Structures are given as C-alpha cells and as structure tokens.
A and B are shown apart, each in its own frame.
Chain A
Amino acid sequence: MKLASRLALAAAVALAACNLALAQTSPATPPPSKKTVICLLPKKKGLPYFTTCAKGAEEAARELGNVELIYDGPTDGSPEKAASMVDRWTLRGVDVIAVSPNDPQVLGQAMKKAREKGIHVITWDADAAPEAREFMVNQATAKDIGYALVDAMAKDIGGEQPEGEVAIITATLTAANQNEWMRFMNERLAKYPKLSLVATKPSNEDQRLAFQIAQDLMKAHPRLKGIFGISSVAFPGAAEAVKQAGKSGSVLVTGLATPNDMKSYVHDGTVKSVVLWNTIDLGYLTVQTGAALASGKLKPGQTTLDAGRLGTKQIEKDQVLLGDILVFTKDNIDKFDF
C-alpha cells in the first residue's frame, strides 16, 4: 500500500516536471509554421502500389518546399482505423486531407466532418460521394483505359490491319468500373475492323476461375488471337492458362495489373503489354492538387492545373486527370517495382 502511494507520488512529480518543462518551453516555441500540412491516406499502408504513390507524393512535397506531408494509413486496411485517422487529422487542423477510401461510406462521414471544419478534402485513386470531397485526382478516365487496352492489343498482334478473334475476361458482370471500360473498348474496336470480339466472360475476381475460363475460351475458339484480362486477377489468371497451354506468343494476353504481377509473363513472351498508370505520378499529382487547393490557386470550375514536372493537367468537372496511361513492355517493366 505504502509502495502504491509512493508510486503515485512519483508519477505526480513526473507529471509536474513535465508540465513545468512545458510551461518553460511554450513561450519559446516558434509560432506555428506557415507550412501547408497535407495528409495522404492510402487504402492500405504497406502495399507496394501505395508505397510507390507515397514516393511521388514526397517528391512533390520536396519540390514545393512549403509542404509538410503526412503519409499514414491502416496497415490492415481497416476502414474504421482509416476513418479514425481522418478524425485525428481534422482535430489537428491540417490543411488538406487526401483520401483513397477503402470504404466510401465509412470514410465519407469522417470526410464530411473534416470539410465542415474548413479542411480541404480530396480523393485520389478511388472516389467517395461527391459531397464528401472537393476534387478527385483520377488516374485515368474510363475512355483512356478502354482505348489503351484495345490499342495495346492491336499493336501486339501487329500489322497494318491487325486481325483475329479476341475475348474479354472481366471481373463481375456488375462491376461498374469494368463495364465502363468495356463500353469504350467496344467503341475503340470499331477502329480495327478485322478484330472481332467473340466472347465476354466474368471471372468473379477469382484467379483460378479466370484460368479455367481462358482455357475454355481457347478450346471454344481455336482461332483466338488475343485475351483481355481487365482486372488485376483476371489478367494473371489468363496469362497462366495461355502459358501452360504452350500458346505463349500465338495467343496474346493484355490487361490491367501491376508490373510485379506480370513481369515473368512479359519476359517469357506470353504478355507483350501491361496497361496501368504511373503510381509515382499519381502520388505526385495528388500532393500538387492539395497544395494548389490550399493556396487558393485551384478553385472549383477550373479546367487546368499547373502540376510541377507533370506540366499542365486537365480538369474535367471535379476530376483532376493524371491522363497518361502507362504501357509496360519488356523494355521498361524492370524499371518499375510495385
């Protein structure tokens, strides 16, 4: 008992000492710096995709000079923890919060509260409800992605007028992103009259199912020249099926996935092109957008943004567009690590 009270006394003394130290230093602490504080929240901290985004964000913060970048997110991808982080940043009174929401609903509420406090809130990589943020930094429009996929296939098949049967393996039949991309893929296919789309199959975000479907497609359409795998799961699944069937090079696979997932297929010739965006630039543009909003350079209704080394970027309504689709081939894929 005596010891307990002694401990409590010691703690009280420690607290008093801390407070004293605080009282002494607080008049001397410099006035709050004029740096713009930008918080960047990924869906999940630690994923190579987001780590490369953060690299670009740091680069932009360094270039701008007057920006303090905070990069943090849940290591387990929990939306509850992500929302708590937004709460804390709101209480801290930071200038800009940029969110890649892993759950637009859960985070939306926290983002709205941040906006009510006068903090600039933007989304990047993935979007939330329009009223929860001012701008979205969008890596690519559906049109860009759809067109880039078809152009990559046409180039891979080769020739003045690429010809042959092609098929699409999508995520699910109700996936909004993929359906939007396919709409533009169909539009672009009109440019290549000798490419005929013979099938569109869902893989339900299951890599093994995508593998089976690719096998079935090759059996059902012996003259198949190309397969689009338009999700990060469908693409490697389809590539593996073509590789195991020994048809590397005669049936070409292209689609959307991170370079690390596809490197081995690119080097063995199953895949010639991997379509994605530059994640470093995505992080860079997000910080540029945040800084421009905070300084008042970017206002609603604007149609362009001066984004440092990326030059002038287009803004469509409330979407800041990164715009450049990146096509990874065996010549450049080893330069990217995500």
Chain B
Amino acid sequence: MTGRDRAARVHFGVLAGLALILFGFAAWLEPSFIAPATQRDLSLHAFELALLALPMTCIIVSGGIDLSVGSICALAAVVMGLLHEAGAPIWAACIAAIGAGAVTGALNGAFIAALRVHPLIVTLATMAAFRGLAEGLSRARPISGFPPEFTRLGEGYSLGLPIPILALAIISLAAGLALSRTSWGCWMYAIGSNERGARYAGLPVDRIKIALYACSGTAAALAGIVFAARRNTAKADIGSGLELEVITAVVLGGTSIFGGRGSIAGTLLGVLIIHETRELVSWHWHHDELILLVTGTILVASVLLNNLASRRAD
C-alpha cells in the first residue's frame, strides 16, 4: 500500500467517524429528526449539492475547478421554463435544457483547453455570463405552472424513495466506477498530478477536459430542472452560491484542491456531513445564522483531525 493510499484511507476513516458521531448526536438530541421518514424527505434538500459534487470531484482531481455550476442550474431551468411557456412539450423542454447545460459546460472546457487559461478565471467569467443570460432571457421573473407529471420528478416517490435520490444513487455509482475503474478515471488523476507529463505521455488531455466540463454542465442542468420541478418554479436566481457549497463538500471529502487525489466515496461522505449538519442545526436550534458557523467549524475540525491522524499513522 502506498503512502498516498494510506493517507486517503485515514481521511476516509476520520470522515466516517465524524458522520457516525453526528448521527449519534442527532439521535440523542432529536429522535424524530433521525426517523427514516424524516431523513427520506430531508434528503431532497441535498440533491443539487450531491449531484454537482460528483463531476466537481472529477474536475478537481484533474486539477481544475468549475465555478459556473450554480449559474448553469439557473440557465437550464429558465430555458426549460421558457420553452414550456412557449408551448413545447415539457419533456422536450427538459431535453433542450439538458442540451443547453451540456453545451455551456463544453464551452467552459473548450475555453480552458484552447486558451490554456486557468479554469478558475474562465468559469469565474462564465459564472457571471450564464447568470446574466438567465436573467436576461427570463427578465428575472419566475416561470411557473408546470404539469403534475413534471413536478412529480422533483417530489415523487418510487420504490419508497424520492425519485431524485434514486437517480442520484445510480449516477453516483456510475461516477464512482468511472473515476476508480476506467482508464479515463486513471487519466484524470494523471492530469491532476502532472498535466505536462500527461501530455507528453500522449493522453488526450484536452478531450478529457472538455468532456469533464460538459458532464458538469449536464449535471448542473439536471439539478436546475429537478429544483424547478420540486418548487414548481424556474427562475434566474436559483443555485446562487451553490458552487461554493459544492466545492466545500468535495474538499471536506478528501479531494486535494491541487488535484491528483480524491474519491467519489469521500465526496459523498462530505456531502452527507454538510447536509446532516445543516438540517440538524436548523431543525433543533432554528437559527439560520448558526449554519455557516457550524459548517465552517466542522471543516476546520476535519482538517485538524486528519493532520493528527496521518501524523500518528506515519
């Protein structure tokens, strides 16, 4: 076992411990919060965060970052809403919106690959541009009145679980396998560790980047559509600030912000911890202002614990 592998396992162990302590504490504090029916319904609040964290993990592993995901959420939802309002069948509107997400994402990737500009700068620019486009297209007004078969997508149940969460489980599995078991996944780690080396080794670096950002855009579009379905509203300000929450979850999950290290399982644990903390704090204390403070504290605590644990493991 290499040292890097061991460090990742230590981090995973620390996070799993944190999650267990969190659940134990919640069970002691608020038994009704921990009830399966409650957890099942609350899980819907984590959908957008979790879905976007999957491609974000791959992007950060390969040394990039995508700040435009929240804006693409809004843009896709607005595209879907406007098309539906104009008379298009709802599912056709959804497919068009997902297409828009894929195209805008691929555009990010193409800029990054062709111009060799840092992804932080490119997606910082498109974050503003896509949000502006969503606001302009919708004139910043909410679009509503979707048919029930569509809103079911956001809040309906199947096999005893919310439909979005079922979809999330499948997508997570696919993302996990892609990153850990395929050659493309392997190349992402290679690019993140040493991009120049990866190029010299003949890896299709640019193609991988464009594909990654296109995936991220597609996921963001799906998140925007599901949000619109859950709240029966599409508008230009949804998902604002979401990108930072997503990056926080990914980093908490043990992915190195400098690339080359990270896993989908770790990210999912990170999402779980952030989600449960947020819900529990609001559930028990009813103080919105506490949530950021507690999330920040957990992030710092996980870093400290991790340092301590890896030092002792060495």
Cβ-defined contact, A18 with B27, below 8 A:
yes
> What chain A residues lie within 8 Å of B24 (beta carbons)?
11, 14-15, 17-19
B1 CB–A CB distance under 8 Å = yes
Which residues of the other chain, B, contact A113 by a CB distance below 8 angstroms?
Answer: 155
Please indicate the chain A residues that have their CB under 8 angstroms from the CB of B6 in the complex.
Answer: 1
Does the CB pair A15–B23 fall under 8 Å?
A: yes
Cα(A257)–Cα(B6), bound, Å: 62
Is B27 within 8 A of A22, CB to CB?
yes
Closest to B39 in A: A91
Within 8 Å by CB of A7, from B13, B230, B287, lies B13
Which residues of chain A are near B227, meaning CB under 8 Å? 80
Query: Chain A contacts of B14 at CB under 8 A?
Result: 4, 7
Q: With A and B bound together, what is the CA distance between A33 and B6 in angstroms?
A: 51
Interface size class of B (residues with CB under 8 A): 35 or more
Q: CA separation between A198 and B45, bound complex, in Å?
A: 53
- Assess whether A92 is in contact with B289, with CB atoms less than 8 Å apart: no
The A contact surface, by secondary structure, is helix
Q: Which residue of B lies closest to A21 (CB)?
A: B28
Task: Please determine whether B282 and A7 come into contact, CB atoms closer than 8 angstroms.
Answer: no
* Chain B residues with CB below 8 A from A105, complex form: 142, 144, 231-233, 235
List B contacts of A92 (CB < 8 A): 32, 283
Q: Is the CB of A22 within 8 A of B31?
A: yes
Give the A-B contact count at a CB cut-off of 8 A. 119
Given contacts A8-B17, A17-B24, A26-B31, contact A81 B288 (CB under 8 A): yes
Whether A15 touches B232, Cβ cut-off 8 Å, given contacts A4-B13, A84-B45, A91-B41, is: no
Inter-chain contacts of A71 with B (CB < 8 A): 286
Residues of A44-82 contacting chain B, CB below 8 A: 45-46, 70-76, 78-81
Number of chain A residues whose Cβ lies closer than 8 Å to a Cβ of chain B: 45
B37: A residues at CB distance < 8 A = 91
* A18 and B28 contact, Cβ closer than 8 Å, known pairs A45-B289, A88-B279: yes
A110 and B151 CA atoms in complex are apart in Å by 12
Collect the chain B residues with CB atoms within 8 Å of residue A3's CB. Answer: 10, 13, 309, 312-313
Q: How far is the CB of B275 from chain A (nearest CB, A)?
A: 11
Q: Does A109 contact B232, Cβ atoms closer than 8 Å?
A: yes
CB-CB contacts below 8 Å: B16-39 with A: 16-21, 23-25, 27-28, 31-32, 37-38
Question: B238 at interface (Cβ–Cβ under 8 A)?
Answer: yes
Contact status B45-A87, CB under 8 Å: yes
Known: A3-B312, A22-B31, A72-B287. A85 touches B282 (CB 8 A): yes
Which residues from chain B contact A229 at a C-beta distance below 8 Å? none
Q: Assess the B10–A4 pair: CB atoms within 8 A.
A: yes
Shortest CB–CB separation between residue B306 and chain A, in angstroms? 11
Q: Fill in one digit per residue for B106-123: 1 if any A CB lies within 8 Å of its CB, else 0.
A: 000000000000000000
CB-based contact A110/B21 at 8 Å? no
Q: Check if A108 is an interface residue, CB within 8 A of chain B.
A: yes
* Distance A11 CA – B269 CA, assembled complex (angstroms): 15
Q: Decide: B286 and A15 in contact? CB cutoff 8 A.
A: no
- With an 8 A cutoff between CB atoms, is B42 at the interface? yes
Known: A4-B309, A105-B232. 12 other contacts (CB 8 A): A7-B17, A8-B13, A11-B17, A11-B21, A22-B31, A70-B286, A81-B288, A87-B44, A87-B45, A88-B279, A88-B282, A106-B142
17 residue pairs A–B, Cβ–Cβ below 8 Å:
A3-B309, A3-B312, A4-B9, A7-B309, A8-B13, A11-B16, A11-B19, A14-B21, A17-B24, A18-B27, A22-B27, A46-B289, A73-B288, A105-B142, A105-B144, A105-B233, A109-B151
